[in-house]
């Protein structure tokens, strides 16, 4: 990489050891991936926030950085932790994890981060605009800001994101550059899928696309209506779970894809697939679901963290009803959205019905395997992909409406098509 | 003895026994950082220990939390000794760079080797990985 005088001064330690360390890491990364220079970044979102992910190594690394005076220099939000700080006893999260997670929190806060503890920093608190260069981890948030907002970030990883936050820069490679943002694979959708499948289309489509493209940039053509923020969120989160997708285009609906040609950057796709209703229906029942319809003992919603709109929907669907004794209904969100939902009256309705709100973490981040759940119903592709490993459950993938019915009756059933 | 030339991704030189996989691998929920055992039941290396081994796999996949788990394995002394890939995606490369810079443990990484060549390396073979020269030697 070609370094400026300021880069060299930072590498030499003129701004302290944490900045020098971060510059060494970023320079080596840039050299491996062919970057020629550093570019400034304006925001960061870091995933080294969970004790289940970083463990004692994370605490040791952060203790050293804090002792050396590390401070972030851009707005830096935090991914979910491993516990709900206010309700971990309610969910029987182990005490030693809670204690170490609190230690991680103290260390991260000492470096000047904004403690959002959410996977949806793009709702508010950390919202980039089109073309803004940011340094993001959390695969579902990376794919959202690249694809839906048109901000630019690579799919960063734990500690690298913090290196970017400490220096305010990243090596210029990958999705910071136009050429890497061009579509590589084309998916042509049969008309009418949105009417037939509603919101369930998006996580299902994302799940299928991610499995096929690996780390490519898929281009989806054939959606007639612009997906909602929640639909985009579910689409990208599923895609970034089954694949390493960091960006997609939806022709006519995402900012860098006014046309198929623009989305492909004038190039030819490496592969083209057609997706029809039968394939979506089969994926819902056979590929994403690992359990048949029947008894469910956990219904988990809010992946990525539920939006205010989603909490309003859940409250409307369950108002005046009651979660079955044989089942738990757990909804994960951030404390900011929870606070608004409290004031808007949604959380009181949900609590009245027996739903429990998990704040600042979720069923794939928190140590909850001790509950011994057997079958989990969910409406989210990312939960469906990761929950079996963390909880030991089988998955019944349902629509949001079917999930609420499952919570109330204890039985997961699909409505006839 | 076969010598293969690829690209050096992270520095260091090590010789150790190989664990060879034909499948992409994600360290998050893929390795137990307390033992070094592969815990991903969907993976062909399930049940094998990666501790101190040269881990040969086509490319990395999975969570952006990967380096968190990887460095915890390094700290516990049960991370792989070297990584060899067809393509080292940035999340894999960064695991080795961070181990070096943050924990002072050198884990050489070499990529740009053909999948069919890597697949022919037998698990258990002694492999020397040179992350500066970008070469591996299979004995």
pLDDT tens readout for residues B38-84: 998 889 999 999 999 999 999 887 688 899 999 999 999 999 999 99
Name every chain B residue with its beta carbon within 8 A of the beta carbon of A244: 60-62, 89, 91
CB contact under 8 A, A157 and B97: no
- Domain containing residue B81: CATH number: 3.50.30.10
For residue A417, tell me if it sits in a domain. no
- The domain tally of chain B equals 1
Q: Which residues form the domain of A306?
A: 289-412
Name every chain B residue with its beta carbon within 8 A of the beta carbon of A389: 29, 39-40
Residue of B nearest to A56 (CA): B72
Q: Do both A15 and A140 map to the same domain?
A: yes
Q: Do both A32 and A145 map to the same domain?
A: yes
Q: Nearest-CA distance from A382 to chain B in Å? A: 11
A275 SS3 class: strand
pLDDT of residue A244: 87
C-alpha–C-alpha distance, residues A180 and A247, integer Å: 10
pLDDT of residue A27: 97
Could you tell me the strand order of the sheet in which A185-189 lies? A249-250, A218-221, A185-189, A271-275
CB contact under 8 A, A159 and B9: no
Q: Do both A143 and A37 map to the same domain?
A: yes
Q: Do both A206 and A147 map to the same domain?
A: no
Q: Which two tokens stand for residue A355?
A: 């739903």
Q: What is the pTM of this model?
A: 0.95
pLDDT of residue B29: 82
pLDDT confidence tier of residue B90, bands split at 50, 70 and 90: confident
Q: Do both A247 and A262 map to the same domain?
A: yes
Q: Do both A53 and A132 map to the same domain?
A: yes
Q: Do both A186 and A269 map to the same domain?
A: yes
Contact B108, B1 (CB under 8 A): no
List, for residues A45-72, the tens digit of each pLDDT value: 999 999 999 999 999 999 999 999 999 9
Mark out chain B residues that contact chain A at CB-CB < 8 A.
9-10, 24, 28-29, 33, 39-40, 60-69, 71-72, 74-75, 88-91, 93-95, 97-98, 101-103
- Domain containing residue A79: CATH number: 3.30.499
For residue A18, tell me if it sits in a domain. yes
Residue of A nearest to B65 (CA): A158
Angle formed at CA A214 by CA A50 and CA B38, multiple of 5 degrees:
50
Q: Strand A375-378 to strand A356-359: parallel, antiparallel, or no bridges (unpaired)? A: unpaired
Q: In the listed set A226, A259, A286, which residue is the last one of a domain according to the structure?
A: A286
pLDDT of residue B28: 86
CB contact under 8 A, A389 and B71: no
Q: Which residues form the domain of B24?
A: 2-138
Task: Give the H or E element holding residue B3.
Answer: strand B2-5
- The domain tally of chain A equals 3
Which of A104, A108, A158 is best to mutate for the B interface (most B CBs within 10 A)? A158
C-alpha–C-alpha distance, residues A322 and A302, integer Å: 19
Q: Do both A25 and A158 map to the same domain?
A: yes
Which parts of chain A sit beneath pLDDT 50?
none
Q: Do both A48 and A150 map to the same domain?
A: yes
Contact A389, B40 (CB under 8 A): yes
* Over residues B26-46, mean pLDDT: 91
- Closest residue to A56, CB basis, from B9, B65, B75: B75
Q: In the listed set A286, A311, A334, which residue is the last one of a domain according to the structure?
A: A286
For residue A296, tell me if it sits in a domain. yes
Which of A52, A55, A57, A239 is best to mutate for the B interface (most B CBs within 10 A)? A57
Neighbouring residues of A151: CB distance < 8 A, sequence distance ≥ 6: A128, A129, A130, A131, A132, A133, A134, A145
Angle formed at CA A175 by CA A168 and CA A229, multiple of 5 degrees:
95
C-alpha–C-alpha distance, residues A270 and A182, integer Å: 12
N-to-C CA span, chain A: 57
Residue of B nearest to A52 (CA): B69
Q: In the listed set A178, A206, A239, which residue is the last one of a domain according to the structure?
A: A178
- Closest residue to B94, CB basis, from A21, A47, A157: A157
- Half-sphere CA count of A293, side-chain side, radius 13 A: 15
Q: Do both A47 and A131 map to the same domain?
A: yes
List, for residues B119-134, the tens digit of each pLDDT value: 889 999 999 999 999 9
Q: Do both A25 and A149 map to the same domain?
A: yes
pLDDT of residue A417: 66
Q: Do both A260 and A398 map to the same domain?
A: no
CB contact under 8 A, B72 and A21: no
- B49 belongs to the catalytic site: no
CB contact under 8 A, B66 and A158: yes
Q: Which two tokens stand for residue A311?
A: 């909490």
C-alpha–C-alpha distance, residues A368 and A83, integer Å: 10
Residue of A nearest to B98 (CA): A25
């Amino acid at each position: 990489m070609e370094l400026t005088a300021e880069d060299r001064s930072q590498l030499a330690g003129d701004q302290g050891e944490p900045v020098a360390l971060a510059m060494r890491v970023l320079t080596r990364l840039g050299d491996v991936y062919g970057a020629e220079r550093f570019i400034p970044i304006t925001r960061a979102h870091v995933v080294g926030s969970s004790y289940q992910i970083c463990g004692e190594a994370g605490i040791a690394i952060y203790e050293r950085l804090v002792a050396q005076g590390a401070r972030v220099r851009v707005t830096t939000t935090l991914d979910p932790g491993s516990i709900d700080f206010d309700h971990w006893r309610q969910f029987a999260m182990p005490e030693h994890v809670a204690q170490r997670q609190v230690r991680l929190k103290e260390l991260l806060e000492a470096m000047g981060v904004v403690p959002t503890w959410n996977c949806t920093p793009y709702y508010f608190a950390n919202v980039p605009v089109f073309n803004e260069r940011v340094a993001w981890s959390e695969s579902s948030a990376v794919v959202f800001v690249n694809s839906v907002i048109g901000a630019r970030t690579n799919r960063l990883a734990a500690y690298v994101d913090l290196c970017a936050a400490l220096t305010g820069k990243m090596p210029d490679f990958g999705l910071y550059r136009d050429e890497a943002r061009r579509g590589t694979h084309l998916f042509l959708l049969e008309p009418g899928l949105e009417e037939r499948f509603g919101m369930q289309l998006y996580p299902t489509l994302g799940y299928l696309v991610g499995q096929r493209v690996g780390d490519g940039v898929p281009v989806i053509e054939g959606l007639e209506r612009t997906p909602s923020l929640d639909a985009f969120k579910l689409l990208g989160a599923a895609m970034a779970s089954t694949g390493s997708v960091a960006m997609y285009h939806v022709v006519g609906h995402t900012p860098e894809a006014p046309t198929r040609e623009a989305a492909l950057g004038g190039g030819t796709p490496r592969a083209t697939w057609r997706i029809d209703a039968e394939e979506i229906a089969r994926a819902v029942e056979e590929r994403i679901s690992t359990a048949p319809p029947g008894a469910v003992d956990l219904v988990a919603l809010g992946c990525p963290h539920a939006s205010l709109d989603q909490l309003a929907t859940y409250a409307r669907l369950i108002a005046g009803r009651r979660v079955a004794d044989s089942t738990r209904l757990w909804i994960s969100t951030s404390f900011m959205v929870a606070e608004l939902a409290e004031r808007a009256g949604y959380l009181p309705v949900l609590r009245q019905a027996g739903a429990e709100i998990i704040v600042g973490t979720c069923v794939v981040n928190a140590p909850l395997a001790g509950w011994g759940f057997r079958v989990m119903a969910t409406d989210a592709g990312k939960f469906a992909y990761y929950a079996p490993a963390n909880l030991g459950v089988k998955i019944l993938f349902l629509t949001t409406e079917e999930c609420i019915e499952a919570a109330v009756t204890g039985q997961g059933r699909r409505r006839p098509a | 003895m076969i010598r293969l030339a690829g690209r050096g991704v992270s520095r260091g030189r090590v010789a150790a026994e190989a664990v060879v996989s034909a499948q992409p691998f994600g360290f998050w929920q893929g390795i137990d950082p307390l033992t070094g055992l592969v815990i991903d039941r969907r993976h062909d290396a399930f049940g094998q220990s990666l501790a101190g081994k040269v881990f040969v796999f086509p490319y990395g996949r999975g969570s952006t939390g990967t380096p968190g788990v990887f460095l915890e394995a390094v700290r516990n002394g049960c991370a792989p000794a070297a990584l060899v890939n067809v393509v080292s995606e940035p999340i894999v490369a960064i695991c080795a760079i961070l181990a070096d810079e943050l924990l002072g443990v050198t884990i050489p990484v070499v990529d740009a080797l053909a999948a069919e060549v890597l697949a022919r390396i037998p698990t258990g073979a002694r492999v020397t990985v040179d992350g500066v020269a970008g070469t591996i030697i299979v004995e």
